[in-house]
Structures are given as C-alpha cells and as structure tokens.
Structure 1
Amino acid sequence: MQNQYRLGIDAGGTFTDFILADRNGGVRIFKTLSTPQDPTLAIRNGLALIEEETAIPPHEIVSNADLCINGTTVGLNALIQHKGARTGLIATRGHEDSIEIRLGHKEDGYRYDPDYPPATMLVPRYLRHGVRERVLSTGAVHTPLNEEDVREACRHFIAEGVESVAISFVWSVLHPEHEERAAEIVREMMPGIRLTIGSQIYPQVREYTRTSTAIVNAYLSPILSSYVEKVDGYFQSLGARAPVRYFQSNGGLALGRVVSDQSVYAINSGPASAPQAALYLGSPWDMKDIITVDMGGTSFDITLTHDGRANVSKNIDFLRYRIGIPMIQVETLGAGGGSIGWIDSMGLMQMGPQSAGSQPGPACYDLGGQQPTTTDANLVLGYLNPAGLVGGRLPLNVEKARTAIETHLAKPLGISVEKAAYGMFTIVNNNMVNAIRRVSVERGYDPRDFVLNCAGGATSAHITALAREMGIRKILISKLASGLCAFGQIISDVKYNYMAPAPVRLEGAEAAARLNTLFEGLEERGRADLAEDGFTPERIGVRRALDMRYVGQVHECTVDVDPFTVTEAALEQLKAAFHARHEELYTYSEPNSSVEVVNVESALTGALDKPARMQIAPGKGAHAALSGTREMIFSADGTRQDAPVYDGAALGAGDRISGPAVIQEVTTTIVIEPGWHAELDATGVYVLTQQPAVSATAARAVADTVDA
C-alpha cells in the first residue's frame, strides 16, 4: 500500500460491510443497512458512519486510498427480481427458441417434475429475431449473413424500446465474422445501445450456453453501467486518485468499464471473495485446503479452495439461467439466523428455507416476529448474549424466543423448549453439512483433509458443531469474520479470463501446435490488457484450464494446469492430468481411451500490494478476559451447564480457551463446544482445534520447519 488506506465495500442483501485498512496493520469493520433502491446511498451512509466513529472524513479516506473496491449485488438483485433492461436477441433463424428448449430438460432436481414451472424468459418471444445465416461445425460458411434481416430486427427493436441487444449465431466461435458484421449494423442503426456479442462474451463451444450467457449479460449491462457511472463519479468527487475496482464472480478485481461491458461477471461477486480471504488467513500456517462457510440472516454460502486454488464452475444454471463464464463455485442454502422452524405433514421438525428476514425478524428481536428461528434457538440454548448483539445495540428478548419455540414446536411435539431448541440447532446444522458435502464430497474431495474457515456474523455459533459433523479437526475464525467478504476484496488481485474453442484430439504434433498457439494468443492479449492497466511483467501471473473428455463422452470436465510449452511429448502431461481429475470426480478413469479438448482458457492476474496484517498484542491469559458465566445447552437431552463467557476485545495473542465456552466479539459470537480449544493468534485469527490441543504458535513453528 503506497497510500494510507485501502477500502473494501461489500453490498449484501441486508447489510453493506466496510473494511478500512491502513498501512500499519490497523483493520476496522463497519456495517450499515443496504439500500437496494439506490445502492450508492449505502456507500454514502457507510462513509458517514466511518467518519462518525473515526473522525476521518470521506474525502480524506478516499483521496488517501491506494484502492477503493466494491462488491455489489446490483446485478444479482436485478436477475432475481427480473428488473433488468429491455433486451432483444438476434439469433440464427430457427434457433430463436433455444433458450426455452434448454437442451430438452429442466434443471437438476426438477427434471422429472411435470408441475415445475418454466423459467421466466429474459427476452420474450416477440423480441427474438431470427436472421438467415449459417456456419457449419467446420467453421465453413453454409449460408451468408442476410444483412437486411439484421436491419429488420433493429427497426423492430427501436419500435419496441429495446435498451440492450444480444447477438448469438450457431458456431459463431469458429467464424465470428457474421456476428461482428451484425454488430456493426446494430451500432449503425441503434447508436448508444448496449450490445453483447456471443462469440466475445463466451467464445466457447455450446450454442445454448453461449446464447444464454449473452442474454444475461445484455440484460444486466445497462444496470451495471449506470451503477458504475454513479459510483465512479461519487468517488471522483471525493478526490479518488485511483479508479474504483469492482469485484467479479471469477474471484478477481476489474475496472468499471470492464464490469459495464462484461456484467455477467458481477452477478455473484459478494461471496466470491471468500476463498481469497481464507487463503490469506491460513497462509501463516501454509493452509491451502480450506472450506469457507458464511451464515447470514437468510442464506448459507460455502466455497472451497484446494491446493491454494478456489473451486471454479462453468456452464451452470444460476437462478435458472445457464451461464458459461467461470465463476467461483458458491453453494447457497436457505439456512440462516432467520430460518424458521416448522413441523411437516409427517410430524417432523424442519428448518427453513423460509426466513423471517430482518422484518419482522426472529421473535427475540421483538419487532413483531412470532415464528421460531435459528437465532431464537441459539438464544434459548444460551449461546447468544441476552443483553443483545452488535455490542448491545440490538437487544434480544429471551421470553419472546421461548414462547415462539414452545407454541410452534415444543408443545405440538410434546417436548421441552430446551429439547426443541437443540433440535432446531441440530437440524439446521445437518442442512448446512449436506451443503458442505456438495462442494466437497460430490466434487471428489474428502472434507476431513480441509480446514474449516468461518465467515458471517451467525456462523461462529455453529462452527464447532459443523466441524464435528464433517470430521474436520481445525477451524479458523478471524476477528473480521462478519465482514470477511469485504476483507477478501482488499487483499485480492486483478483477474481477467480469456477463452477460446479448441475441438482437438490430444494426438500428434499438429494438435500440440494448435493448443500452444491458442494459449499463447490468449495470454498475449491478457498481458497487453494488464500492461495497459499498469502492471509490469513480474506482477502478472497465468493459470490455464482445458475442458476435456474421453472421445464419445457427452460432457467434459475442467482440468487446471500450470503454463508450459505444449509439445507433442507434453500432450501426455495433459492426458495424465485429465485422467487424474476424472478419477477424482467419478472414481474411475480410462487411461487407454482417447482424450479430446473442447475449450481452453487462460486466467491472468495482476498482483496488487497487500495491506499489512492485523497485529494483536500478547495477552495476559484468558482469565483476564473472563466476563462471567452463562447456562448453556450442549446435548440433545436439554441439560444446562454453566459455561464461561469471554470478552473477545480483552483477549490477546497466545490466550487459550477450552470448551465449553463462548467468546463474544462485537459482531459475532463464537461457541466452543466441549472437546475444542481456541487460541488467538497475533494475526487476529482464532485457531480452534480438537483435543489434543495444538497451539497456534506451535503450529506455525511446524509449518516454518516444513518450509525450511
């Protein structure tokens, strides 16, 4: 950091988190309510809150910041609420309905459900216009582009008030000239229109995926463009010396103009920064296999990093729309602090996905909510401070929580309130464990080989129970856990993805030369873009990926590889990497079968300086932070026991606590179950381990010895 500050802003559905770091290792977290009607208002309110608490005015922070970073839900909210731009589609005649045909099936989980309704089309049928043109799978032109058809589409779009246009032709990735000429005509007849070209936004084989991705991008582009313009303008008015960076779903930063043109990359930008934060927190102990879990008021997000790299998904159905571009895999579950407990038709207790949200909220908030929620259960179990959350600014009503649980669950089931509360706690934990398995076990990873990292304000109350169920023996909880995604943004790098189709069998010198030429071309573009962005060669990193399959397979899997010159001999390295990944995913491989590549991708990163780490002064022993005891429940029989409560602000580096116990931080509550031990490291991270206890200092010493 060359300047005094770095500012990270993560706009969530309920709260917008702010992380302010300085060059001396000081890091502070601030929260303000999100303002979906005008997302920039939350930024103004947050900076006003920072000024109120620190006496540092917004213009002083921004003008002395080397980076101001924004992760936003603007695109996500527009897609959820179907409030994007009025969009038109120009497609190859006869393929206007590919987005409704959807490869002939519904999403996984609903494929055989005749009552499951079709997805709402982002482009209605009357705004899809087919044009005469056709390219074959060889890249040869079968039917030249009929330019008058394109002009007719433009006249229709103008009459209908279309704001954004997507162009996607069959096999355009092998012959993009038709799409490019159609784009010229659209720009000529509809100057100023937002335009998305399929072969540019997603230059990969698969027509349906490319068309759907282009439509989503076109649908969101005017919304994100307007948002970026407002945010950039506001920060410029405060004297910003560097352009605002925006966080992308691929796990990296980008300039506003990139986000405006490639808006599909900003859809799920919030939780996408969690893996980077996890690796940063775990780096003092050389931890590279980390599962991060983030429990908010309504949802529970899970991300995974293996060998220092985050799980990335492509060609997925997101909110029922197929998106092809690489996105950090985020598994989302309707399980949060507001998840409602209820009894199903079989007389069994269930949790969620319905949520009390923030209005009226859990019953214990005393804002009118009457349904029992996860937060109510945690309060009855004694985990949460009855004096209130967020340093007492959010008071809690224990009696309202007990009444809600008793009325809706305990009495109907004929059990005590305490047993019902522990049942709620157990069920919501099991739901979260099942979701963790989807990003680990179902992708070929054993969760017992991973560290569990805590994010979100509500997660810490459940974290040891989740680890116990998964067989995970080590947990990381940062003092910044409740704003970990905003923290992840300020320690992330710039990242751009470059893709190309590569239908080639991995055999012979010609195939090797073709792959090598493709990769070198993509990376030359990437280095040029990053150089224009101010990055010198030594700060530019490259990762490669190939979509590969056995000849005859319908679907391919993505294989990550390090950059190297692709020669005929090196093809064996690619085959070996594919066989290994196939076995990880499907428990078998076919080393004697031929392998082919479908698509290739190069991800280039521009490394940014990282802010100094938080530094915690040595402690005087956990006893100095003991604030009292509280009755808590740690078993299904509902038995209460006194457990110590510690003030997190009074703990110092090296202080160790054994469970059962609770550590109360200002924005989160850490529940330490029996058999677990916590030690606060000097970097501001609690390291939780199961017996036998392993000190954070000793763990770091072991890691240093291994590195040496």
Structure 2
Amino acid sequence: MMEHAFRLGIDAGGTFTDFVIANRASGDVKLFKALSTPSDPTKAIENGLKQIADSLGTTPSAIVSDCDLCINGTTVGLNALITHRGGKTGLICTAGHEDSIEIRNGHKEDGYRYDPEYPAATMLVPRYLRRGVRERVLSDGSVRTPMQEEDVRQACRLFLEEKVETVAISFVWSVLNPGHERRAAEIVREMMPEAILTVGSELYPQIREYTRTSTAVTNAYLAPVMRRYVTAVDRYFRDLGAKQPVRYFQSNGGLAVGQVMTDRSVYAINSGPASAPQAGLYVGAPFGKENVITVDMGGTSFDITLTRNGQTNLNKNVDFLRYRVGVPMIQVETLGAGGGSIGWIDSLGLLQVGPQSAGSEPGPACYGRGGTDPTTSDANLVLGYLNPEGLLGGKLPLDVAKARGAIARIAGPLGISIEQAAYGMFTIVNSGMVNGIRRVSVERGYDPRDFVLVGAGGATAAHITALAREMGIDTIILPKLASGLCAFGQIISDVKYNYMATAPLRLDNEGACEKIDTLFGEIEAQGVRHLETDGFASERIAIKRSLEMRYVGQVHECTVDIDNFRIDETTIDKVKDAFHARHEELYTYCERHNPVEVVNIESTLYGLIEKPKPPRLEGTGSLDLALKGSRPAIFQASGEATSTPVYDGSKLGVGVSVTGPAIIEEVTTTIVIEPGWTATLHESGSYLLTRKD
C-alpha cells in the first residue's frame, strides 16, 4: 500500500489558480479552480484547498498530510520581471565592465534593430549601483591583475547605505578561474550578511561575459521576491502538516525544492507553462502521438510549446522580456491573448484585441466584478459559446447584459452589430494565436500538419477548432483536465537540475578527451550529491549529457546531445559524429574535414519520481442522456446565429461522438466544436477531435 494517497499540483495563473489532486493508487484525478490573489498568493491556495476538502469530505490539513508531493507552479517571478518589482540590486563586476548589461553586445531586439525611437530596456540595476572592481583574469585562466579587495568593500558600504537587498557578482573570465569571484563573495557575506548573493560563475558557468552577467543580475533581482514567496508557501504547508517539502516547478521543465528556487530564481521565470509539454506528451501517449503542439489560453496569456519526437525544445541565451537569460528554459511562445484580453479601437479606427487584460480584478465585464471593458470572454458569451448561467458549474455567474454593453462600446464606433463585433474580436484574437503557432512551427522548419494540437487552459477549448482549421491541423486532443493541464503536468514531472561547465578546447588537442570526461564527472558528482540529499537513491537518478560545439572559426555554437559514456580516444569520434549530424540537421550541411571545438558542457540530472496511475474513465453515457438543450451560437462573420446542441460532458460515455456544430460543457471548460469537426471521448479522459476533408 502506498504511504501517501494523494499528489497535489497547483498552478497559479494571472486570473485563476488551478488545483489538480490525483489519487496515486486509482488514478482518479480531480480539478478545482480558485481566483488568483496576486496580493497574497497563499489566499488562493487556501481557497482551493477548501474546495478540495469540501469535495472529499475532509480537511485541508488531512489532504496535505496525506500527499507524497505538493507541487507549486507560479507566475510570481515572471510578474516581478514584467512589472519591474524585483529587489533593489547591486552589481559587482570587473572595472570597465559596469555598462555591459546596458551595452548588451550592441544588440537590439529583432524587429526593432533599425528603429531609432525604440526605447532602451529598463535596467534592473541602476548605474550608480554597478560597482567596478580592479581585477583581471585572462582567457587562459591566468591572473593578470590581482583583485583589489578594498574595491569590493567600498561597493558593500555603498550597498548598505542604499539598502540594497540582493547582490550579483560577475567578473570577466571567472568561468576559467573563479578565485576572484569567490573571494568577493566572502567579503559580501562578511559585510552584508542579510543580503542575497548571486555568483555568476556558480549560477551560469559558461563563456560569454554579457550573458553570464545579465543572467546573474536577473537572478539577483528576482531572488528577494522568490524568497518571500517560497517562505510564505513553505510555512503555510508546514502549518497544515505537510510531510514533505513543497516542490516548485522550474522553467527547465522539472521540480526543485524551495531553497533552489531562491538560489536560482531565474529558473522561476516561466514556471507555470513549462509543464505543458510534459502534460501534452502524456495525454498524447494513448493515441501514439509524439509530435505535439500544446496551446494554453488562460485569462491573461496564450502559451505555445512544441514537442517533436517526444523531445521539447529548450531555449538558452535568449532575450526574455528584453533581458538576456543564459540558463536553459522550456521554449515557450507567450502572447497577450486570454479570456481577459481587452478589445479596443486603434488610431486608424481598426479593431484590436489585447495585449492588455482585465485579469481577475476586475475581470471581464460579464463577471460582474466592476469590469467595463469588452474582453474575449464577453465576446464568447455574446457569441453563445459560454453558458449564460455561469462558469465553473455555475459558481462564477455570467451577466449577458453587461457583456453586450461592453461589446457595444466598440460596435457603435465601428458601425456594426454587437454580434458582428463579438465575432470580429474572436477572429482577431485567433489570428494572433495562429501567428504564434506559426512562429514555433513553420518559422522553425516544422510543418504544423505533422503535429496534433493539444488544448490546455480554461479558455482554449472555445477557440481550438478555429485555430486548428487555420493551421491545417486535422487532429486535436482535448483532455477533460484541459483547464488545469499545466497543474497536471507538474504532478507527473521529475526533479530536474542543470549543471554546466566551460571547456574551451579543440577535440584534436592532446588531453582534450580526459579534460572533458573529468569535467562531466565533476559536475555530475555535484548533481548526484544534491539529489541524494533530496532523498533519491542512485537507481532513481538519471543523467543526460550535452555539449555546445562548433567548427573552429565559427562564431556561434550548437547544442549536441550525447549518450553517457566515457570520453576517450576510442569514443571521441562518436562525439564528433554527433556534432556533424546535428550541424547538418540545423544548417543542411556539415564539414567533416574541419576541426571541431567544444565551448561548454552541460549535464541534466533527474530525480525520477513515481508517477500516479494513469486515469481511466469508467461508466457509460449516451448522446441523448448528455443533451442539455440548444442555444443560438454564431460561427460566421455576418453575426447570424445557428441553433446549436449543448451537451453535458459529465454524461458522455467513452466512445460517444459529437458532431459539430455543437458545444460540450465541462465543469471548468467549454468545448466549441465548429461545423466539420467530430469529438469522440476516449477512455483516457480526453476528447479526440477530427476534421472531415
């Protein structure tokens, strides 16, 4: 018998906080939602746990104490970066490099490169808090200029005077000789014992000084916010009787304990949507699908991830919200398109939707919480897609009159009917989402028709057949848990840590094999110790290796995955062959006659967690039994309505098919099936939607 009965996943979004609780033995999974409370995230957790307790006839304390894992995905770090509400940060760097984060390698974001009026990015560390230290390490790791310790002490005195709460340290070539950074860190800890400290060569030990410094600064900036959040959540669950520490979801697609999320706060930036690919693969597995595009439309944003052959792309060295971040993150395309996205008329008199959002406070006009702006949810209600009696099984009533009043604010100036304006908003927000899907597929060399579309998020199901139609995709998988799919992805994910090292050397150099093999051994030993301390036995630890490589003379490198084997003279050709193959895959050619060099290495260590039993639907149902009635719904730009059957998803049996136009109402989502589509309920708990030719 399992020691603990449940596993709990919590995904805090901009509008709703999702809760998924799984019975580990039976596979039964339940989904709950509570309005997010940005001012006090633990309040939303409290509200959600109360719903779970009421449903199970027990108490929040009993639930938490009977969970083997309580997992939390959060937008706290992301929101702090968006709103520039991080901690007051100081930077200690090599003298003469105080402005590297502002010069940004002379780079301006794509699309604005030749725009002289594009404003500079807001600096996370103001100029007067960037303090240079006289020191210099050369590219061979030798010390040219010893570090002047008094410079560090002067910086600390200024930081104390200015009430700096978090400090980043990043010196040139510290990845080859971290001695100066380590000594500077000792001085900061001595003089500023309360400050949070980020050391660049420890957080991101990779070549490229600007990327390393920017990553360290971003981490330091977010650390106080994440510390406060983690401290509050950990205390809340301890007080409820949690037997295990809370796990937090990282942007690299794995779990971590709270201390790691404080020390490596930069990994919290995309915490929520990073679990979507894992969940997408999980729901696609019963159908034999490994090419998956997962789309998640919530209240404020639309997130897109692509997984090909079971592997999800990772981003490294990217500009995220205009800040260079080097650490690996699940590649997520995020748009300002959600149920709360606001419709407006621009200076040319054209209808636009988003990226502004009504969020959860005050929310869409139809929520009746004081919102007056027309939103996507208001449009969907006017179009007949949403149940006028309310969402969440009637727990969130909807006001049709207020929705129509909000839409009328744009319909009048445009000289069209309210229904036409609503369909116009629906079409425009879909167009933006289609463009986002193209960016992760077509623009990266993938044909979207080779993929299935997996729906996540509470608002996605109302739009997903329209999105698939526009992309030429003819298969959709839409789980009953769609509105909480990211929370579900958390409870089936493993603990995951990335360890890196710099190894700038040519593979044909003497001793190259031994050095690379030694470095892999060192960083992997560090990771294994970390996971063993976390309670994982050796048989529950897995390791994946990769190298960043290039031809000698190239400027940019590419990441090459390799198997775990001893790297020596007899196996080095396997490494070279893997690089040539990857280079040809990326750029259509390789140069086997040219020498190859390694720039960085990375090992990803997994603490493998036992997965809950897969959910399986039982019981029967029929189309006639599930039919609730019909209501007018609009599927065309003219605004003309069609009488559309509405079905209760809880009364549909396995194998039952619904042909569009139709609407299926689940407790936490509404599925709009356009004409030409058919939805069939599968025993795994997902609807398989297919389109006729």
TM-score normalised by structure 1 residue count: 0.93
Measure, in 2, the Cα distance between the counterparts of 1:259 and 1:461: 35
Q: Counterpart of 1:83 in 2: which secondary structure?
A: coil
- Report the counterpart of residue 491 of structure 2 in structure 1: 490
Q: Counterpart of 1:558 in 2: which secondary structure?
A: strand
Q: Verify the 8 A CA contact 2:35 2:360 in the aligned structure 1.
A: no
- Report the counterpart of residue 614 of structure 2 in structure 1: 613
Deviation per residue, 1:378-430 (Å, 9 max, x gap): 22322222222221233333344344444413x54454444443332222112
Answer with 505-514 or 657-666: which moved more: 505-514
- Report the counterpart of residue 378 of structure 2 in structure 1: 376
Match of 2:264 among 257, 262, 265: 262
Instruction: Please tell me the residue identity of whatever aligns with 2:545.
Output: R
In 2 relative to 1, CA 83–343 (structure 1 residues): closer, same or farther, beyond 3 Å? Answer: closer
Measure, in 2, the Cα distance between the counterparts of 1:168 and 1:130: 10
CA shift, 1:664, in A, is 0.4
- Report the counterpart of residue 667 of structure 1 in structure 2: 668
Q: Verify the 8 A CA contact 1:298 1:337 in the aligned structure 2.
A: yes
Q: Counterpart of 1:166 in 2: which secondary structure?
A: strand
Answer with 97-106 or 412-421: which moved more: 412-421
Measure, in 1, the Cα distance between the counterparts of 2:370 and 2:529: 57
Deviation per residue, 1:228-285 (Å, 9 max, x gap): 2222222222222111111111111111121121111112211111111112212223
In 2 relative to 1, CA 230–416 (structure 1 residues): closer, same or farther, beyond 3 Å? Answer: closer
Instruction: Please tell me the residue identity of whatever aligns with 1:500.
Output: A
In 2 relative to 1, CA 86–518 (structure 1 residues): closer, same or farther, beyond 3 Å? Answer: same
CA shift, 1:136, in A, is 0.8
Q: Verify the 8 A CA contact 1:362 1:376 in the aligned structure 2.
A: yes
Verify: 1:25 aligned to 2:27, yes or no: yes
- Report the counterpart of residue 440 of structure 1 in structure 2: 441
- Report the counterpart of residue 344 of structure 2 in structure 1: 342
Verify: 1:75 aligned to 2:77, yes or no: yes
Verify: 1:165 aligned to 2:167, yes or no: yes
CA shift, 1:125, in A, is 1.5
CA shift, 1:624, in A, is 1.9
Measure, in 1, the Cα distance between the counterparts of 2:167 and 2:503: 27
Measure, in 1, the Cα distance between the counterparts of 2:419 and 2:317: 45
Answer with 247-256 or 625-634: which moved more: 625-634
Measure, in 1, the Cα distance between the counterparts of 2:112 and 2:537: 49
Q: Verify the 8 A CA contact 2:410 2:421 in the aligned structure 1.
A: no
Work out the percentage of aligned pairs sharing the same amino acid: 68
Instruction: Please tell me the residue identity of whatever aligns with 2:520.
Output: F
- Report the counterpart of residue 565 of structure 2 in structure 1: 564
Matches within 5 A, 1:597-636: 597-636=598-637
- Report the counterpart of residue 481 of structure 2 in structure 1: 480
Answer with 131-140 or 214-223: which moved more: 214-223
CA shift, 1:457, in A, is 0.5
Instruction: Please tell me the residue identity of whatever aligns with 1:529.
Output: H
- Report the counterpart of residue 287 of structure 1 in structure 2: 289
Verify: 1:200 aligned to 2:202, yes or no: yes
- Report the counterpart of residue 178 of structure 2 in structure 1: 176
CA shift, 1:572, in A, is 4.3
Verify: 1:303 aligned to 2:299, yes or no: no
- Report the counterpart of residue 243 of structure 2 in structure 1: 241
Deviation per residue, 1:335-385 (Å, 9 max, x gap): 112223334444443322233333443343344544433223322322222
- Report the counterpart of residue 704 of structure 1 in structure 2: none
In 2 relative to 1, CA 181–491 (structure 1 residues): closer, same or farther, beyond 3 Å? Answer: same
Measure, in 1, the Cα distance between the counterparts of 2:234 and 2:365: 40
Q: Verify the 8 A CA contact 2:16 2:360 in the aligned structure 1.
A: no
Match of 1:85 among 84, 87, 108: 87
Q: Counterpart of 1:674 in 2: which secondary structure?
A: coil
Q: Verify the 8 A CA contact 1:277 1:484 in the aligned structure 2.
A: yes
Measure, in 2, the Cα distance between the counterparts of 1:567 and 1:611: 41
In 2 relative to 1, CA 168–540 (structure 1 residues): closer, same or farther, beyond 3 Å? Answer: same
Verify: 1:511 aligned to 2:512, yes or no: yes
CA shift, 1:71, in A, is 1.4
Match of 2:36 among 34, 41, 44: 34
Answer with 559-568 or 530-539: which moved more: 559-568
Instruction: Please tell me the residue identity of whatever aligns with 1:257.
Output: Q
Matches within 5 A, 1:262-661: 262-409=264-411, 411-507=412-508, 510-568=511-569, 570-586=571-587, 589-661=590-662
Measure, in 1, the Cα distance between the counterparts of 2:166 and 2:560: 35
Match of 2:254 among 252, 271, 274: 252
Runs (5+) with no aligned partner, structure 2? none
What do you get for the CA RMSD once the two structures are aligned? 2.2
The count of corresponding residues between Structure 1 and Structure 2 is 691
Measure, in 2, the Cα distance between the counterparts of 1:242 and 1:26: 22
Q: Verify the 8 A CA contact 1:507 1:568 in the aligned structure 2.
A: no
In 2 relative to 1, CA 690–576 (structure 1 residues): closer, same or farther, beyond 3 Å? Answer: farther
In 2 relative to 1, CA 302–171 (structure 1 residues): closer, same or farther, beyond 3 Å? Answer: same
Q: Verify the 8 A CA contact 2:627 2:646 in the aligned structure 1.
A: yes
Instruction: Please tell me the residue identity of whatever aligns with 2:338.
Output: G
Measure, in 2, the Cα distance between the counterparts of 1:393 and 1:676: 30
CA shift, 1:518, in A, is 2.1
CA shift, 1:666, in A, is 0.9
Instruction: Please tell me the residue identity of whatever aligns with 1:140.
Output: S
Measure, in 2, the Cα distance between the counterparts of 1:575 and 1:412: 64
Answer with 110-119 or 91-100: which moved more: 110-119
Q: Counterpart of 2:527 in 1: which secondary structure?
A: helix
Measure, in 2, the Cα distance between the counterparts of 1:98 and 1:134: 16
In 2 relative to 1, CA 343–155 (structure 1 residues): closer, same or farther, beyond 3 Å? Answer: closer
Instruction: Please tell me the residue identity of whatever aligns with 2:122.
Output: T
Measure, in 1, the Cα distance between the counterparts of 2:593 and 2:604: 30
Q: Counterpart of 1:291 in 2: which secondary structure?
A: strand
Q: Counterpart of 1:233 in 2: which secondary structure?
A: helix
CA shift, 1:596, in A, is 2.8
Runs (5+) with no aligned partner, structure 1? 693-708
Q: Verify the 8 A CA contact 1:444 1:585 in the aligned structure 2.
A: no
- Report the counterpart of residue 2 of structure 1 in structure 2: 3
Q: Counterpart of 2:554 in 1: which secondary structure?
A: coil
Measure, in 1, the Cα distance between the counterparts of 2:234 and 2:314: 29
CA shift, 1:593, in A, is 4.4
Deviation per residue, 1:117-166 (Å, 9 max, x gap): 22222221221111111011111111111122222222222222222211
CA shift, 1:11, in A, is 1.6
Instruction: Please tell me the residue identity of whatever aligns with 1:301.
Output: D
CA shift, 1:505, in A, is 2.8
- Report the counterpart of residue 684 of structure 1 in structure 2: 685
In 2 relative to 1, CA 223–636 (structure 1 residues): closer, same or farther, beyond 3 Å? Answer: closer
Instruction: Please tell me the residue identity of whatever aligns with 1:679.
Output: T
- Report the counterpart of residue 186 of structure 1 in structure 2: 188
Q: Counterpart of 2:392 in 1: which secondary structure?
A: coil
CA shift, 1:219, in A, is 1.8
Q: Counterpart of 1:257 in 2: which secondary structure?
A: helix
- Report the counterpart of residue 695 of structure 1 in structure 2: none
Q: Verify the 8 A CA contact 2:296 2:304 in the aligned structure 1.
A: yes
Answer with 274-283 or 357-366: which moved more: 357-366
In 2 relative to 1, CA 580–349 (structure 1 residues): closer, same or farther, beyond 3 Å? Answer: farther
CA shift, 1:487, in A, is 1.2
Q: Verify the 8 A CA contact 1:509 1:567 in the aligned structure 2.
A: no
TM-score normalised by structure 2 residue count: 0.95
In 2 relative to 1, CA 542–293 (structure 1 residues): closer, same or farther, beyond 3 Å? Answer: same
CA shift, 1:580, in A, is 4.3
Q: Verify the 8 A CA contact 1:621 1:656 in the aligned structure 2.
A: no
